[in-house]
Structure 1
Amino acid sequence: MQSRAVPFEEGKEPSVINRTNQSKTSQLRLLRILVPFLALCVTFSVISIYTIRYFGINGVPTTVKSTFQPCYEEPRSLKQWIRPPLNLIHNMTDKELLWRASFVPRIKKYPFQRVPKIAFMFLTKGPLPLAPIWERFLKGHEELYSIYVHSLPSFQADFLPSSVFYRRQIPSQVSEWGRMSMCDAERRLLANALLDISNEWFILLSESCIPLYNFSVIRHYLMKSQYSYMGAFDDPGKFGRGRYNESMAPEVNITQWRKGSQWFEVNRKLAISIVEDTMYYPKFERFCRPACYVDEHYFPTMLTILAGNLLANRSITWVDWSRGGPHPATFGRADITEQFFKRILEGHNCTYNDQSSSICFLFARKFAPSAMEPLLQLSPNVLGF
């Protein structure tokens, strides 16, 4: 039987043909795997784009938080303890804030160069229409003051980043005239200001207040004063004593009852006494309600009991009660003249460090928004700034 001959093409061998067929087979198998995988990827991408577009990026997990913790922590420096808060917004409750603000170093001598500052605390419902006056007054003294604003919680300030009032609002609550919520607002301002270790003097102001002298004069006055509280008056007399409630005894008796201006200046030591008080606050909160106006009695009475010898028994904020009524006079554009300020600044006799002084007031109120333009015109010659 003859064997059947299989012809070969020129230049090719059987082994080459087999390898070529195997290669084509492998490529086809790879394509069968890749095509479904690519289809799955395209489908997933379309679903992801749809989810992000309609539900937002937060609906898609994009990152995984690392649980890695470094084994080395940079040592704390003194600057971390003494620098003021970079942001006045915090989530502390009033109880937590007052507790934090009451911290006092036991060693009186500071281990660093401390430059005492004035904390200007504005208690207002909202806007500060006289802000340009304060901007001019504070210009050039950036390292010597701090600003804190307590407004209605709903108020959103729109000060420019260049303003001294930019981001100076503290976490606030609603306060009502004549009620304990007003004292709460004042304590809240003090507590926030106490978080800056460099603040030494604390001045409570309203949106209608203006300074009567330039910054250097006011700072020198505060530095040289032997009194730690300026805003209180002595015994309010028979009429004022009628607001006293005998249920406040024995913590507060009638001979200690005092009436004072709501607007005050206090040093750091007494500011801490105000925020840490838990003895007299409950008595006034419970028993001093309208027509006992607690913002006129709580601080003067409490500080008279704790440190009566440190009270100046007068206010450094000028007001005009000559028009009568429950509130002092408000002055507008037509009132702002040089003669008007001569009446405020001259002809007064008062004591300063138990000696006669011609400087009786450092601030004045109440000024309407319409007074701003003439105030800016007169302030260089009349007020010194």
Structure 2
Amino acid sequence: MVDAERRLLANALLDKSNQRFVLLSDSCIPLFNFTTIYDYLTGTNLSYIGSFDDPRTPGRGRYNPKMYPQINITHWRKGSQWFETTRELALHIIEDTVYYKIFDQYCKPPCYMDEHYIPTFVHMLHGEMSANRSLTWVDWSRAGPHPARFIWPDVTDEFLNRIRFTDKCPYYVLSYGMGYIRPRHPGPRVGSCRIRVLGSGLVGSGSFGS
């Protein structure tokens, strides 16, 4: 999958007018309208790459010691395979030949490149370019290797609004009637604020406001 991701980025980069690149599952649905999401993404110079150190077997347990010394276990990160990146960071990702080859050779099941390569690569070399979080929301409260799957009866206005407006964001003011996020104190980093998009476990659609 990572090879396909890099090919998609390389092809999209051929158009110099493309400045932001978003990879989502076909099961993702937006929680805000296009203008809101566009303004949110273009209002910062950061990319949104989920990356965290998971000490459990599904995290550090997937590290292959043969990756050392280029990749140390302290560098090892896990994250969502869905991401948003700036043009500059996308160029770094497709230009990498060193770490991609190491992952391609040594990251085999139960190691999955799409969950580890980009999070680890960005953390090691370009951490200052990432907000270090994903834009997708998923429910991991149920045990298992995959997030919860939501079917049509689950997707109600109440459910969607609970996801949209659960967190208070100190950098943005929420206009609850319109479903917009508007900048209050714009800056290069947006802290813990987020626009959430339902993740790959969701099927169906709902009402998203105007």
Q: Distance in 2 between the 1:308 and 1:300 partners?
A: 9
Matched, 1:221 2:40: yes
User: CA distance change for structure 1 residues 351 and 195 in 2, over 3 Å: closer, same or farther?
Assistant: farther
Q: Distance in 1 between the 2:7 and 2:101 partners?
A: 16
Contact 2:37 2:195 in 1 (8 A): no
Of residues 229, 233, 237, the one that matches 2:55 is 237
The alignment-based identity, stated in percent, is: 51
CA RMSD of superposed structures (Å): 1.8
User: CA distance change for structure 1 residues 225 and 237 in 2, over 3 Å: closer, same or farther?
Assistant: farther
Matched, 1:282 2:101: yes
Matched residue count: 191
Q: Distance in 2 between the 1:361 and 1:354 partners?
A: 11
Corresponding residue SS for 2:9: helix
Q: Distance in 1 between the 2:110 and 2:170 partners?
A: 32
Name the counterpart of 2:197: 363
Matched, 1:310 2:129: yes
Q: Distance in 1 between the 2:16 and 2:163 partners?
A: 34
Name the counterpart of 2:3: 184
The Cα shift of 1:303 comes to 1.2
Q: Distance in 1 between the 2:191 and 2:50 partners?
A: 18
Q: Structure 2-normalised TM-score?
A: 0.83
Within a 5 Å distance, the mapping from 1:1-385 to structure 2 comes to: 182-227=1-46, 229-239=47-57, 240-349=59-168, 353-355=189-191, 357=193, 360-365=194-199, 366-368=201-203, 371-372=204-205, 375=206, 378-379=207-208, 381=209, 384=210
For 1:92-142, what per-residue CA distance to the aligned partner results, in whole angstroms no more than 9, with x for missing partners? Answer: xxxxxxxxxxxxxxxxxxxxxxxxxxxxxxxxxxxxxxxxxxxxxxxxxxx
Q: Distance in 2 between the 1:191 and 1:316 partners?
A: 22
Corresponding residue SS for 2:126: helix
Q: Distance in 1 between the 2:101 and 2:191 partners?
A: 38
Q: Distance in 2 between the 1:284 and 1:350 partners?
A: 36
For 1:297-352, what per-residue CA distance to the aligned partner results, in whole angstroms no more than 9, with x for missing partners? Answer: 10011111221112212111111122222111222221121111122112225686
Q: Distance in 2 between the 1:284 and 1:197 partners?
A: 29
Q: Distance in 2 between the 1:284 and 1:309 partners?
A: 22
Structure 2 residue runs without a partner (length 5+): 172-188
The Cα shift of 1:237 comes to 2.4
More relative contact order, 1 or 2 (CA 8 Å, 6+ apart): 2
Q: Distance in 2 between the 1:349 and 1:299 partners?
A: 29
Q: Structure 1-normalised TM-score?
A: 0.47
For 1:263-304, what per-residue CA distance to the aligned partner results, in whole angstroms no more than 9, with x for missing partners? Answer: 000000111111111100111011111111111110011111
User: CA distance change for structure 1 residues 305 and 263 in 2, over 3 Å: closer, same or farther?
Assistant: same
Q: Distance in 2 between the 1:313 and 1:351 partners?
A: 18
Corresponding residue SS for 1:260: coil
Contact 1:212 1:364 in 2 (8 A): yes
Contact 1:259 1:297 in 2 (8 A): yes
Q: Distance in 1 between the 2:56 and 2:154 partners?
A: 35
